[in-house]
Amino acid sequence: MSVQEILVINGPNLNLLGQRQPEIYGYDTLASIEEKCSTLAKELGVSVRFGQSNHEGAIIDMIHEARTKSAALIINAGAYTHTSVAIHDALKTFEGYIIELHISNPHAREEFRHTSWISSVADAVMAGAGAYGYELATRLAAEKIKAA
C-alpha cells in the first residue's frame, strides 16, 4: 500500500485525558499526545491523524474511512473495548495493520476490563505504558508500513 498514514482512533472519555483519573491515565492531554506522535511520525517518514469520539457509530465511521485512507490503525477504544461487537466487526474490514492500545493495563484492573472485543482482530496489543504507549504504537505502525 502506498498510503503512509496512521490513523489513531480514541474512544469515549479520552477527550478528558489529563483531567480524568490522572492516577490511572496520567496528566498528558490528548492534544499533547497527538503533538508528540505527529513529530515522531514526521521523523519516521509517515503521517499520523488523530480522531476521537464518545459515540460508537462515529468510531465505526472512522474505521470505514480508514479503509481507503490509512495504512495502519491504532485504536484506544476506551470502554468500547469491552462491549462493542460492532467496532470488532468494523475492524475486521480494515486490511492494514491494527494496534489495540490502552494507557493502563486492563488486566490489572476490574475483571470486566479483562475481555477485549478488539484483541482478536488486532495485529498487536499495547497496554500499560501510559501515554508513551501512543509513541511506541506510532513507531511500530510506521515500521510495519515501511516494511509492507
Give the tens place of pLDDT for each residue, 8-45: 999 999 999 888 887 778 789 999 999 999 999 999 99
The catalytic residue among 80, 102, 107, 134 is 102
H and E: helices and strands count for the chain: 5, 5
**pLDDT of 26:** 78
For the chain, which residues score pLDDT lower than 50?
1
DSSP letters along 37-74, please?
Answer: HHHHHHHHT-EEEEEE-S-HHHHHHHHHHHHHH-SEEE
What pLDDT score does 87 carry?
A: 98
Query: Quick one: pLDDT at residue 108?
Result: 65
**Which grid coordinates belong to 34?**
497527538
In the residue annotation, 80 being an active-site residue is answered as no
| Confidence (pLDDT) at 2 | 52
What cell was used for 143?
515500521
CB atoms within 10 A of CB 109: 12
pLDDT value, residue 110: 72
Whether 102 sits among the annotated catalytic residues: the reply is yes
Query: Would you say 37 and 5 are in contact if contact means Cβ atoms under 8 Å apart?
Result: no
Type and span of the H or E element at 147: helix 132-147
Instruction: Choose, from 25, 80, 97, 134, the residue flagged as catalytic.
Output: 25
What's the confidence (pLDDT) of residue 111?
84
User: Quick one: cell of 105?
Assistant: 493495563
SS3 90: helix
